Structure 1
Amino acid sequence: MTSNENKTVPVFGYEIIRDYLLPIILGKHEKDVLYWAGKDLARKFPCTDIQLIASFFEDAGWGKLTLEKEEKDGCIFHLVNDVDLLKLAERSFRLEAGFIAQQLESNNGYLTECYEEKDEKHERVEFTVKWDSKEKK
């Protein structure tokens, strides 16, 4: 019996699914479906703090997530990964945004949303997270 811990998915195989098949299957609903799928993944793989969220990103092959700024009603993360600049421009990062939103909503107890913006100049994605401290979940 072999362990699954040491098995990896080739990057090419992952990119075929992520960058070509999902957009075809999901069509115009891709961004919405990926966001809600990210939220669902977060419920299945709860992370109790930001370090665990960052570790999940690396383990999932999504890249290196760092907390850049914390505010009273939100925070900003940066994501850097091995996706080349051309694919960065085309890829949707709504899956990751939904995952972050749900993790922080579960941790802080407030209605939370996350928006992504591609920063092609710095070859990264910026996630802006906002929560409403008046909206308890």
Structure 2
Amino acid sequence: MSQQLYDELLNSPQGLINGTLRDVILPAILGKETDEMLYWIGKDLARQYPVASSQDLITLTHQLGLGDLSLQKHTKTSQLWQLGGPIVASRIKKDEENTSFGLECGYLAQEIEFQLGTVVEGRISDYHHNYVEILLKNDPQTNSTTERTELATFIHVTPDTPGSTDDQPAGKQSRHPGRHLKRRSSKKEAK
């Protein structure tokens, strides 16, 4: 590791250990296949932490240290997400041409696949100086459960910011294939 790389990672928002793992060790192990392999690692990451809503996805992405996520556009067959923040900006600034966001693409594709119940694929659609745009494409006619019998046990995400709303009480998990969780109103609430 060069002094310059050491200094950059030590002073970056992601820190020395995370930066070294992500941008030095994994590319050294994976070689030319880094971006593609990170895509599948990202899908596996989403399987460990499946979330039921876009808001939970935004919160979890931040908590995982992947960056600040926001939904820019949404249609029946696609979603355009923006991933930015200090971590992303420093990674792009360090080496825009060789910085892989395959992990983030796979992670988002799998999370949205759980939520929609259709097969979803993700890719970087545009690089900017301090953020990337990730395009997710889905085919509403293709049911993801036909390709595998995987059911997601959605986790409860603890919000980062005060005033956030939760769909479920803390500690509750729901087992539901590919659909948003909806809060059931109790008889007391209905009165």
Please say whether Structure 1 and Structure 2 have the same fold, judged by a TM-score greater than 0.5: yes
Deviation at residue 118 of structure 1 after TM alignment:
4.3
Cα deviation, 1:80-137, whole Å, max 9, x if unaligned, reads 122324225131001010010001111111111011144224x211000110011111
Cα deviation, 1:50-79, whole Å, max 9, x if unaligned, reads 111111111011110000111111110001
Q: Is residue 2:136 matched to residue 1:129? A: yes
Distance 2:95 2:57 in 1: 21
Is the contact made by 1:66 and 1:77 (CA closer than 8 Å) also made in structure 2? yes
Is the contact made by 1:88 and 1:120 (CA closer than 8 Å) also made in structure 2? no
Q: How many residues align?
A: 128
Is the contact made by 2:41 and 2:106 (CA closer than 8 Å) also made in structure 1? yes
Is the contact made by 1:38 and 1:96 (CA closer than 8 Å) also made in structure 2? yes
Higher strand share: 1
Distance 1:112 1:33 in 2: 17
State the match for 2:115 in structure 1. Answer: 107
State the match for 2:19 in structure 1. Answer: 15
- The residue type paired with residue 86 of structure 1 is K
CA RMSD of aligned residues (A): 1.7
State the match for 2:84 in structure 1. Answer: 80
Cα deviation, 1:18-62, whole Å, max 9, x if unaligned, reads 111111100011111110111111111011111111111110111
Aligned to 1:46, which of 34, 37, 50? 50
Scaled by the length of structure 1, what TM-score is found?
0.86
Q: Provide closer, same or farther for how the CA distance between residues 100 and 15 of structure 1 changes in structure 2, counting only shifts above 3 A.
A: same
Tell me which structure has the larger Cα radius of gyration.
2
* Identical residues among aligned pairs (%): 32
| Unpaired stretches in structure 2, ≥5 consecutive residues | 1-12, 145-191
Scaled by the length of structure 2, what TM-score is found?
0.63
Could you tell which deviates more after superposition, 97-106 or 81-90?
81-90
Could you tell which deviates more after superposition, 112-121 or 59-68?
112-121
Q: Provide closer, same or farther for how the CA distance between residues 75 and 68 of structure 1 changes in structure 2, counting only shifts above 3 A.
A: same
Q: Secondary structure at the match of 2:31?
A: helix
| Unpaired stretches in structure 1, ≥5 consecutive residues | 1-8
Distance 1:10 1:101 in 2: 23
Q: Secondary structure at the match of 1:22?
A: helix
4+ aligned runs moved over 4 Å, structure 1: none
Is the contact made by 2:42 and 2:104 (CA closer than 8 Å) also made in structure 1? yes
Distance 1:102 1:10 in 2: 23
